[in-house]
Amino acid sequence: MAGRLDGRVAIVTGGGGGLAEGICGRLSRSGAAVVCADVSLEKAGRVAGLVSEGGGRSLAVEVDVSDKGSVEGVVERVVEEFGGVDVLVNNAAIYPRRAWTEIEEEEWDRVMAVNLKGYFLCARAVYPHMKERGGSIVNVSSITFFVGWTLLMDYVASKGGIVGFTRTLAREIGPDGINVNAIAPGAFPTDAEKIHPDQEGYNRWVLEQQSIKRRGTPDDVGNLVAFLASEEASFISGQTIGIDGGWMMR
C-alpha cells in the first residue's frame, strides 16, 4: 500500500486511542502526513511518536471536537504547517456504560456532542480546503448500531446518526470531488473494552460471534481506512462498510 497517499495530509480525530494507532500508522506507511488530534495531547503525542519512529511525518494536536473554535483552530494550524487537508478520519468518541434509565441528560448531550456533532464540525472545518483539491472523509460508526447493544444507548444512538450523516454528506459534497464513507468496526482489543467487567468472558463471547476466529487489530482498521482514502476508492461514496470478522452480515 506504500505510496497510495503520497503527498496527502490526513487528520485523525481520537488520534490518541487504540484504533488510531492502526489508522495513523497505515496512513503514514501509505505516504500521508498524519495529524493525530485528540482531547489528550499526551495520548496524541504517543501515537504521533510511533508514526515518526516509523519514518513518517506527523503532528500531535490537542482538540475538543465538540467545540467549533477548537476544531477550526486545529485545521488552520494544519493548513499552515502542511499546506492543506486531503483526508479526514472522524474517529473521536466517548462511550459511558450504564443502563438507559441511568443516563443523565447532560451525559446524553455530551455523547452526542463528541460522537456526532464533532463529526459535523470537523467536516465543516476541512471542507473549504478539500473543495480546492478533492479529498476523502471516513467516519467511524460501529457494529453496535446494526445489532443493538445494552448499556450503551447514547453511544449506539450516536453511531446510528453517523450512518445518516455519512450518506447525506456524501450527497452534499460529492460534486466537489470528495467521497465520504463510514466504517463499522466490531469489537477490537483496545482500552475501550475495559468498560466490560469480565474481560476473559467477553473475549470468548466476541470470538463466538465472529466468523473469523481471531481478534481484530487496529491495523485491520487502518488497512480499510487507507483504502477508502486512496484513489482506488474514489468511486465509492455514501457507504458503511463493516469490519468485524464476519459478525454482522447484511
Active site members: 155
Is the CB of residue 7 less than 8 Å from the CB of residue 87? no
Lookup result for grid cell 473494552? 193
Cα–Cα dist 9/133, whole Å: 12
Q: Is 134 helix (H, G, I), strand (E, B) or coil?
A: coil
Angstrom distance (rounded) from CA 233 to CA 238: 12
d(CA 6, CA 30): 7
CB atoms within 10 A of CB 159: 25
For residues 208 and 181, give the distance between their C-alpha atoms in angstroms, rounded to a whole number. Answer: 28
